[in-house]
Structure 1
Amino acid sequence: MEIVVDSREPQIVIEELQKLGVNVKKQVLSIGDYIIGSDHIIERKSGSDFVQSLYDTRLFDQVHRMIEEYDNVIIILEGLEVDSEIRKNIFGALAYLVIRRGITILPSTDKISTAHLIERLASWIQEEHVDPILMRGGPKRLTLREKQEYFVQGLVGVGLKTAKLLLDNLGTPNKITNAITDSTILRTRTGNPKGISGELAEIKGIGVKFVERNKELLTKIH
């Protein structure tokens, strides 16, 4: 199992990951702290850093940049203690990140616990774990809308929330697939992707990675 870790992360976390048998590759990452899969990135935040990044708005910029590059963004909150005076703001930010941005937020008590949590997450992503309860079931006795949601979840990186978002904005699975194939990836002068054009560009959380992977799914002949 291999994890790419930002070289500025605490040594105690890195050493604990290595004790757990993880092959740690240290790099200076421009976004996130731990890359545990091609579509999965983790941002580790101490409670105090989370609060500070919320008030200086750095948090939302970090989240936006991660969503642009990765389909699955995870924030590990380490030792968060919430004072009654700021409880509403903190919980409001957490609710926004989970419900509106589709971020997974997981708690941790300390750096050692964080290392163990990261190792388990990476294990489920990189190794085979078969759990029939978690497998995507067939569309039995569903309404038309539910069948459409089920169909759209067959796209790369699409869960129920994203399926609902796409259908709410575009109406039908046919319009969604057409919007994907009609989308154009915008690039900088040096050729790096900087965004997308077309109907999907108006939908929050849908970016370059989504279009690239699903265009390949819909148009490439195996």
Structure 2
Amino acid sequence: MDARRTKGSLVSRITTSPGIPDSVHQLAVDHSERDSVLLDAVRRSGWFDVRMERLATGDYVVNGEVLVERKTIRDLVASLVDGRLFPQVARLAHSPYRSLLLIEGPTPFSLPDVHHHSVEGALVSIAAMWRLPVLQSSDAEQSTRLLRFLAEQVRGPQERILRRFDRKPKRLASRRLFLLQGLPGVGPALAHR
């Protein structure tokens, strides 16, 4: 199955329901999260139109664009010990969505099974080598806020930053015009003025 087709089919299934205001964001939730504290907090918040889905990877899809894998500290350590963590990270990194890892729980990773340096090293590897953002939250309420902020970022205006690939002029006067014309809404006529 084509990755884009998979993404498109999920997006078409989580379109806005009739009667749901535009300020409510779409959240597809994997069935494995049906009993989670975060799902209860998300439903109580009123910020999301929640749909239970079977997701191929990850736990949440925000507004059909961002895939979130949520792990409690205990689950993070368990998946690191039994070897599930990096295969999951690989699936997230190769997903057609923008993906991130959400770690929920207290910041000092103090569990008796694993030294905290191992967990910190794994998180550095995920962020630096796999280029997967890692967000940290202390509890389900903060995770809900992070999901809302993420949804608002995704839904916000998608202004593109344009880069100029022209050759850089050699003369000072031409360089000044080149610089001015690089500003939004400034063409050659306005730059000459």
Q: Aligned Cα RMSD in Å? A: 2.8
Instruction: Summarize deviations over 1:180-215 as a string: whole Å, max 9, x none.
Output: xxxxxxxxxxxxxxxxxxxxxxxxxxxxxxxxxxxx
State the Cα distance separating 1:11 from its structure 2 match: 4.7
The worse-fitting range, judged by mean Cα deviation, of 2-11 and 106-115 is 2-11
Aligned counterpart, 1:77? 103
Q: Which residue number corresponds to residue 8 of structure 1?
A: 32
Gaps of 5+ in 1: 144-222
Match of 1:148? Answer: none
What letter corresponds to residue 30 of structure 1 in structure 2?
A
- Structure 2: how far apart are the matches of 1:21 and 1:58? 32
Asked if 2 retains the 8 angstrom alpha-carbon contact of 1:33 and 1:42, the reply is: yes
Alignment of 1:1-222 (within 5 A): 1-9=25-33, 10-18=35-43, 19-80=45-106, 81-83=108-110, 86-125=115-154, 127-129=155-157, 136=161, 138=163
Structure with the larger helix share: 1
Q: Distance in 1 between matches of 2:148 and 2:68?
A: 12
Q: Distance in 1 between matches of 2:63 and 2:157?
A: 15
Normalised TM-score (structure 1): 0.54
Q: Deviations over 1:157-191 (max 9, x none)?
A: xxxxxxxxxxxxxxxxxxxxxxxxxxxxxxxxxxx
Distance 2:100 2:58 in 1: 9
Deviation at 1:45, TM superposition (A): 0.3
Bigger Cα Rg: 2
Number of matched pairs: 139
TM-score by length of 2: 0.62
SS of the aligned residue for 1:97 comes to: helix
Q: Is the Cα contact below 8 Å between 1:12 and 1:112 reproduced in 2? A: no
Give ranges in structure 2 of 5+ residues lacking alignment: 1-24, 169-193
